Chains A and B, each alone.
Chain A
């Protein structure tokens, strides 16, 4: 049972913003609802108005490759993203990461925009978006803003979104090189769990290896200092060094899911594994 609130289905971006500004602190945007409704159910949130964004044109569309790269409507359910052929073939790391979110039922509702707007440090799609250098397109009182994903997350639960502003689309630039990604998530159970630590690695044909982490800092983070180690060396020693460097860049907390110390140790372990898998995958793809 939920406590009463009003629900409005916005018909346009403008209307959504309008409603949100009028509702003020009592307003909440709704996309998939898999986070919002849980928080309302748990009595952590008591909104006056819930503004559904799914009726806005383009919010659930996936477009690709007209020079802009991949553009995903923010309310697109993750399962649709995962099953999209272009996403699977060209942005496989995002599909893989999205696949680890919740359960089948959750992924049929949870959206890409919601996953990042909640700004959980453990958001599974965030490391992949960081590595694809995604751009977050928001719509707010001042119209469109384009925010590099690296500047989007501000802290646990905090984003660059202003009052009345919501994520409208997520754009992933075209990757010209062949690439292979690996997303390793350590949970407590094998399925349907939040990450204790997650590591994404994306190996590019040109020699670059990109690395990003989830659940080990106030926001998902990319670790370019560690990436630099792998710029020209991919041997076991370099991988180990990159993993150690990554661990130094992590700043996890202790919570009910794991201790800070364990997260640090696992950051190193998973980073090495993710790099190895990404490199091996790329090599196999090149063959």
Chain B
């Protein structure tokens, strides 16, 4: 069965025809060439395919493309460019919170969702937010550091804005 869907991907509405069994992950990677989200397991266990749907992190391997009809999807490609990084990305760079990088787009999306929901997370809350994102290289410590730092930077930016008014 083929479905005509309309999905807002990284701020742009996309119209497409997808078969029923097309996963959101394949739709992003194969149809839209957004290869930031990775397939690590296909079973919702590793988090490498994490994207935000209506602001919430989900495993794109466990959602059908047709289910995303009408939804707002954000992938790592929607965050920033190398010369204009999102503060979360910047913090990952600064903290050297990456090695092979395969888990990183998913990790960053989990972090992004957390900070939008909770601008002042504790370390425990950060750990909880990323415990569904497996990483085999870094040992996680720097990733947690990076997310804590991104939160702090965002808060500082927010308070300086308030001060300026």
Chain A interface (Cβ within 8 Å of chain B)? 1-9, 33-34, 37-38, 40-42, 50, 52, 54, 79, 102-106, 108-109, 190-192
Contact = CB atoms under 8 A, between A and B. Distances in A.
B59 A109 contact: yes
B110 A7 contact: no
B21 A4 contact: yes
Interface of B: 1, 3, 19-23, 26, 42-45, 47, 50, 53, 56-59, 61-64, 66-67, 110, 113-114, 127-133
A41 B43 contact: yes
B58 A5 contact: no
A103 B20 contact: no
B1 A102 contact: no
Contact of B132 (A4, A40, A52, A105): A105
B124 to A, nearest CB: 11
A42 B61 CA distance: 12
A104 B132 contact: yes
Contact of A106 (B20, B53, B59, B114): B59
A3 B127 CA distance: 35
A105 B20 contact: no
B132 A3 contact: no
A5 B62 contact: no
Given A33-B62, A191-B128, 14 more contacts: A4-B19, A5-B21, A7-B20, A8-B1, A9-B66, A37-B61, A103-B132, A103-B133, A104-B132, A106-B44, A106-B132, A108-B53, A108-B58, A191-B127
Given A41-B43, A105-B59, A192 B131 contact: yes
A191 B130 CA distance: 10
A6 B57 contact: no
Given A41-B61, A103-B131, A4 B20 contact: yes
Contacts, number: 91
Closest 4 A-B residue pairs measured CB to CB?
A: A103-B132, A7-B20, A191-B131, A6-B1
B57 A108 contact: yes
Contacts of B64: 7, 33, 37, 50
A109 B45 CA distance: 13
B58 A105 contact: yes
A104 B110 contact: yes
Contacts of B23: 1-2, 37
A2, A40, A108 interface centre (most CB from chain B within 10 Å): A108
A41 B23 CA distance: 10
A188 B3 CA distance: 41
A79 B19 CA distance: 29
A191 to B, nearest CB: 4
Contacts of A105: 44, 47, 50, 57-59, 110, 132
Of residues A3, A33, A40, which shows the largest number of chain B Cβ atoms within 10 Å of its Cβ?
A33
Contacts of B129: 104
Contacts of B44: 34, 37-38, 102-103, 105-106
Given A109-B59, A191-B128, A103 B47 contact: yes
